[in-house]
């Protein structure tokens, strides 16, 4: 038997792709038709990504399960911002604001998939805003997204590029919202470690209310904190600045005697920590910038505000793997 395999499957009639690493006893499953959602990652019969009970739930609440792709991440106040002298008016999908973009719910086009010893099991897909008239109307840039999920040697990675094929500089703000699952009653025995150096004070609406500062929470996260002890659990949300350089987070599962390692690369200086009240999961969300970034006046060095020039490409890579403690 080959170590790696791609299995074409279905979930309630919708096509999915299962990436299998037989030697690592690991399976990842992706549904291209709903935002290229990774909705399953199982290792040695343990589930590490929260999956909804039904596909209909994922369609309606695509930011609440799996690994949603966020462009832009977080909320945009009043669903509008100004960039380069142009006003952008986004759909107010969380009245009165815009939340998490629409890439997470739109169909992506699979352009390649396969499995071999050299490259593991993989699937590549694209989303082209230039081919999506309703999105192009409010985000007038020919941005093409090409992302690849790969399972190799027990490590699940996502590498991607965003190419600006249009004639103008575009605003860039990208994030991910992975829901790392744990069992009912397990929150006291799941420990999160994040290299957070500062916490952003937030307004009642959840937007940045001042520059980030070191806090008791950031000190605790550097050493490791139980999920049940996180502020506002369940349902609390904190926005953090991460130490420069390679960013690595850990989730230790005491009951499973395992540790999940989340290597986020160096493109995501902002991190949102969230405990979901509707499912047993903790979200460690890497963002390229703070939410609502183009409505804020903070220096780009701390906010992460950036742009992508005509003809330029933004690339990233992150990976997760599970170790036995």
* Surface-to-core class of residue 226, CB atoms within 10 Å of its CB (0-12 exposed, 13-18 middle, 19+ buried): middle
3-state secondary structure of 90: coil
Residue 97's φ and ψ, nearest 5 degrees, are -105, 175
Encoded tokens for 94: 């969380």
Give the pLDDT band (50/70/90) at residue 128.
very high
- Residues 256-315: pLDDT tens digits? 999 999 999 999 999 999 999 999 999 999 999 999 999 999 999 999 999 999 999 999
pLDDT surpassing 90 at residue 325: no
Distances (CA, A) of 237 to 153, 166, 180, 277: 33, 36, 15, 11
Please compute the mean of the pLDDT values over residues 37-42 and round it to a whole number: 98
- Residues 137-191: pLDDT tens digits? 999 999 999 999 999 999 999 999 999 999 999 999 999 999 999 999 999 999 9
pLDDT surpassing 90 at residue 200: yes
- Which residues have C-beta within 8 Å of that of residue 306, sequence separation ≥ 6? 172, 173, 288, 289, 300
3-state secondary structure of 285: strand
Give the pLDDT band (50/70/90) at residue 17.
very high
Among candidate residues 171, 201, 175, 321, the one with its CA nearest the CA of residue 261: 321
3-state secondary structure of 194: coil
pLDDT surpassing 90 at residue 39: yes
Ramachandran assignment for 101, one of left (phi > 0), alpha (psi -120 to 50 degrees), beta (any other): left
Give the pLDDT band (50/70/90) at residue 253.
very high
Encoded tokens for 226: 């139980």
State the average pLDDT for the chain: 97
């Amino acid at each position: 038997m080959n170590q790696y395999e791609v299995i074409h499957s279905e979930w309630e009639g919708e096509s999915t792709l299962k990436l299998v690493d037989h030697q690592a006893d690991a399976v990842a499953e992706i549904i291209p038709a709903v935002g290229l959602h990774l909705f399953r990652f199982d290792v040695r019969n343990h589930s590490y990504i929260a999956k909804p009970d039904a596909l209909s739930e994922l369609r309606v609440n695509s930011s609440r399960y799996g690994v949603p792709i966020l462009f832009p991440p977080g909320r945009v106040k009043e669903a509008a911002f100004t960039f380069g002298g142009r006003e952008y008016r986004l759909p107010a999908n969380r009245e009165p604001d815009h939340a998490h973009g629409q890439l997470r719910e739109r169909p992506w086009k699979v352009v390649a998939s396969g499995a071999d010893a050299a490259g593991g099991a993989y699937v590549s897909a694209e989303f082209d805003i230039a081919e999506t008239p309703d999105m192009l109307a409010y985000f007038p840039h020919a941005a093409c997204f090409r992302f690849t999920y790969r399972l190799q040697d027990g490590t699940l990675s996502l590498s991607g590029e965003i190419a600006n094929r249009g004639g103008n500089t575009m605003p860039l703000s990208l994030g991910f919202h992975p829901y790392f699952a744990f069992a009912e009653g397990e929150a006291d025995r799941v420990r999160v470690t994040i290299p957070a150096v500062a916490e952003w004070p937030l307004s009642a609406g959840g937007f940045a209310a001042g520059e980030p500062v070191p806090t008791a929470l950031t000190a605790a996260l550097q050493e490791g904190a139980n999920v049940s002890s996180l502020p506002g659990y369940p349902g609390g949300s904190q926005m953090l600045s991460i130490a420069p350089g390679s960013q690595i987070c850990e989730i230790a599962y005491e009951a499973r005697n395992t540790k999940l390692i989340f290597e986020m690369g160096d493109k995501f200086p902002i991190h949102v920590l969230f405990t979901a009240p509707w499912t047993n999961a903790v979200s460690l969300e890497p963002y390229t910038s703070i939410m609502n970034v183009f409505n804020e006046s903070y220096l780009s060095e701390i906010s992460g505000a950036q742009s992508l020039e005509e003809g330029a490409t933004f690339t990233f890579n992150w990976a997760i793997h599970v170790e036995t403690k």
